[in-house]
Amino acid sequence: MTTLDMLAHWRLDRDADGLAWLTFDRAGSAVNALSADTMAELAVVLDTLDAAPPTGLIIRSGKATGFIVGADVNEFAGLDTPEQARALVARGWNLFNRLGSVRYPTLALIQGHCLGGGLELALACRYRLVADQPGTSLALPEVMLGIFPGWGGMLRLPRLIGAPAALDMMLTGRGADARRAAALGLADARVPPRLLLAAARQTVLSRKAPRRARGFGGWANHWPLKAVVASRARKQIAAKDPLGHYPAAPAIVDIWEKHGGNALQAPKLIDRIISSDTARNLLRVFRLQERLKANGKQTGVPPARHVHVVGAGVMGGDIAAWCALKGMTVTLQDQDMARIAPAMKRAAQLYARRLKDPRLARAAFDRLTPDPAGNGVPLADIVIEAISEQPDAKRALYGSLEPLMKTDALLATNTSSLPLETLREGLARPQRLVGIHFFNPVAKMPLVEVVQAEGDAGDMQARACAFVGQIDKLPLPVKSAPGFLVNAVLAPYMLQAMRSVDEGLAPEAVDAAMVAFGMPMGPLELADTVGLDIARAAGEELAGGAEPPRCLSERLARGDLGKKSGRGFYVWRDGKPVKGNHPSGAPAGLAQRLIQPLIDATRQRVDAGIVADADLADAGVIFGTGFAPFTGGPLHYQSSNAMRSIRPAEAD
């Protein structure tokens, strides 16, 4: 038995042309991730190829799930000392430098996800081919985990596609699909899947020179333009994160500009970033996200193929558009075509923006069919109701839908607060009705609450979770209760912000305090976006009979409903709030005073069993409200602060 025969994760084959085909198929895992043992085995493969060099090397995946999803994040959690952190960086840096310096041509054959360390491995190859198909994505998302691409990405990506484009990818974590990867020069070509193997062979045997960035992008890797590009990047980072909650972004710029992309030349920076609270908390958020994703992977549940949505308003229309984007046949019902037309227009804009390729956008649009007569109901695997929050109207609709539905079809309501028990009254099969609560805007908000009533067996909720996972959203199981989780914690937060306005604070000052805290937008801008009438309804449901804030009542009396009416706490122009300069003298502790009702409400929801545990509650609030991810979630934030306050006493 040879050394190669003993490898658990890699398989090396040679063909008649002398090409080596190296297949990565990590044992015991559904995805390829780079761990200590898989990288040690790759080093063994390179030893073998050094002894008998091939004509060329083609690296591909043995997984249907994609190329390589990145480093094994579980190994980051075990970094207890600075020496361990530096060793982890050195492991990938040295191995990929070795791959990048071999004498024979190398090619990464990419299908599906090629992320983080996976893209850094691909960058170390001379060539990259990508499959021209949905699901192909190339990205360096390390900044979203509070760290940096330390295995060569900060060196090689700017050289390949130019410094400005590379910094944009590294500082945002945004990915490139096959079309954009080829346009950027990140991939040598995008190839139909059926031609990938032949194209890979031809590319390697061509021995053509590797790509390099040209023009301004290439020049920006050298002084003096390098300093100009770095300065511009730092200004953009400071504008988005003025208090420095996310230190990895400026560290990426520093390592690229001052250390040639080699983090090992800045060991103190490695120690500070990888051991930071932000990195630990963002790793926690990543694991919470994976836990939510797991809810959507229900075994034995057949995929939904046809979705029928009733209600073509903002929520219903956008739910229908999203389902069609994700490959489903969708019929959209409302009283007449005039009510459906705006939803179809928004759908076309979504597809053009998301899919880029006009052919794919047209195919998605063709999957979405206006259906005023409701002809799609008998064909649907799931029927989603998204009409106004009127229990009687919803029950009347269910009475007309249920006799037409397939016996195994799921009936779902997008209600934001009404109890399932109330809505099920009169149904022949009440347990077929589940809550599937999306958030606005549907295309941007990743969380969907899946609501279960008391006494449900759970199989319908499992099917609902599987559907949510199928459309690439994060399903959070919650029990039926007013406001469920997300709205129940947002309402007291927004009401507290409004009471601060009653006390004389400017809306701009209130919102600025929370943006500085790390929220994506302030609570009053959020209330305007949701709609002040909806905010009042949620507040009445959850405030226990307390009087609404005066500033809210006054605006509603004038018909100022927020963004949808053009005026609320702000005047809205072209979809954006017009804000004046906020007073500089906001009271100390304002952010904590505003956020405390949200934290308290989250704890109450856990104690009441509305959500299974504190970790899932944190996940729900982060992905459902945008709660500052660097904190690890509201309950984690509170417990961490409590621990910090205890530590000095312990030291005494």
Give the domain CATH number at 73.
3.90.226.10
Residues 426 and 469 grouped into a single domain: yes
Pick the range with the lowest mean pLDDT from 71-80, 99-108, 166-175, 612-621. 71-80
Q: Under 8 Å CB-to-CB from 171, ≥6 apart: which residues?
A: 143, 233, 236, 237, 249, 252, 253
Q: How many domains are there within the chain?
A: 3
Please report which helix (H) or strand (E) contains residue 333, including its range: strand 329-333
Which candidate, 594, 623, 432, 402, places its Cα nearest to that of 515?
A: 594
What's the sign of the alpha-carbon dihedral 94, 96, 100, 104? positive
Residues 331 and 389 grouped into a single domain: yes
In 106-131, which positions are buried (b, 16+ CB within 10 angstroms) versus exposed (e)? bbbbbbbbbbbbbbbbbbbbbbbbbb
pLDDT band at 164 (very low <50, low <70, confident <90, very high): very high
CA atoms within 13 A on the CB side of 319: 31
Residues 21 and 126 grouped into a single domain: yes
Residues 166 and 192 grouped into a single domain: yes
Choosing from 480, 507, 532, the residue where a domain stops is 480
Give the domain range for residue 17.
10-275
**Could you report the per-residue pLDDT of 180-196, keeping only the tens digit for each?**
999 999 999 999 999 99
The verdict on whether omega for the bond into residue 441 sits within 30 degrees of 0, i.e. cis, is yes
Which candidate, 316, 526, 540, places its Cα nearest to that of 415?
A: 316
Active site residues: 120, 142
Residue 308 to residue 300: CA distance in whole angstroms: 22
Looking at residue 642, its pLDDT comes to 63
Is residue 2 situated within a structural domain? Answer: no
Residues 458 and 492 grouped into a single domain: no
Residues 179 and 268 grouped into a single domain: yes
Residues 570 and 439 grouped into a single domain: no
pLDDT at 156 over 50: yes
pLDDT at 650 over 60: no
Looking at residue 3, its pLDDT comes to 75
Average pLDDT (612-635) is 95
**Could you report the per-residue pLDDT of 428-465, keeping only the tens digit for each?**
999 889 999 999 889 999 999 999 887 776 688 899 99
pLDDT band at 383 (very low <50, low <70, confident <90, very high): very high
The percentage of the chain sitting over the pLDDT mark of 90, rounded to a whole number, equals 79
Helices 117-124 and 82-100: crossing angle in degrees, nearest 10, is 30
pLDDT band at 541 (very low <50, low <70, confident <90, very high): low
Looking at residue 357, its pLDDT comes to 85
Residues 103 and 250 grouped into a single domain: yes
Residues 167 and 243 grouped into a single domain: yes
Q: Under 8 Å CB-to-CB from 190, ≥6 apart: which residues?
A: 129, 130, 131, 132, 136, 178, 179, 181, 182
More confident position, 275 or 347: 347
For the full predicted model, state whether its pTM sits above 0.85: yes
Looking at residue 332, its pLDDT comes to 98
Average pLDDT (588-617) is 95
Chain-centre distance for alpha carbon 407: 35
pLDDT band at 544 (very low <50, low <70, confident <90, very high): low
Residue 35 to residue 72: CA distance in whole angstroms: 5
Give the 3-state secondary structure of residue 588. Answer: coil
pLDDT averaged over the chain?
92
Looking at residue 389, its pLDDT comes to 86
* Contact in structure between 605 and 611 (CB atoms under 8 Å): yes
pLDDT at 651 over 50: no
Choosing from 275, 290, 306, the residue where a domain stops is 275
**Could you report the per-residue pLDDT of 58-83, keeping only the tens digit for each?**
999 999 989 999 999 888 877 778 89
Is residue 285 situated within a structural domain? Answer: no
pLDDT band at 648 (very low <50, low <70, confident <90, very high): very low
Is residue 292 situated within a structural domain? Answer: no
CA 205, 206, 211: angle at the middle one, nearest 5?
Answer: 120
**Strands 576-578 vs 571-573: parallel, antiparallel or unpaired:** antiparallel
Is residue 531 situated within a structural domain? Answer: yes
Choosing from 426, 461, 480, the residue where a domain stops is 480
In 634-643, which positions are buried (b, 16+ CB within 10 angstroms) versus exposed (e)? bbbbbebeee
Pick the range with the lowest mean pLDDT from 409-413, 462-466, 496-500, 533-537. 533-537
Average pLDDT (281-295) is 94
Which candidate, 191, 8, 224, 49, places its Cα nearest to that of 108?
A: 191
More confident position, 542 or 444: 444
Average pLDDT (293-320) is 94
State the CATH number of the domain containing residue 580: 1.10.1040.50
Residues 474 and 490 grouped into a single domain: no
**Could you report the per-residue pLDDT of 254-279, keeping only the tens digit for each?**
999 999 999 999 999 999 998 889 99
Looking at residue 649, its pLDDT comes to 41
**Could you report the per-residue pLDDT of 103-125, keeping only the tens digit for each?**
999 999 999 999 999 999 999 99
Is residue 603 situated within a structural domain? Answer: yes
Looking at residue 509, its pLDDT comes to 92
Average pLDDT (621-626) is 94
Which candidate, 535, 532, 520, places its Cα nearest to that of 562?
A: 532
Is residue 291 situated within a structural domain? Answer: no
**Could you report the per-residue pLDDT of 7-59, keeping only the tens digit for each?**
999 999 999 999 999 999 999 999 999 999 999 999 999 999 999 999 999 99
Is residue 288 situated within a structural domain? Answer: no
More confident position, 349 or 585: 349
The percentage of the chain sitting over the pLDDT mark of 70, rounded to a whole number, equals 96
Residues 455 and 593 grouped into a single domain: no
Cα-based torsion angle of the residue sequence 249, 250, 251, 256 in order, rounded to the nearest 10 degrees: 100
State the CATH number of the domain containing residue 375: 3.40.50.720
Is residue 290 situated within a structural domain? Answer: no
Residues 146 and 182 grouped into a single domain: yes
Average pLDDT (280-292) is 94
**Could you report the per-residue pLDDT of 473-500, keeping only the tens digit for each?**
999 999 998 889 999 999 999 999 999 9
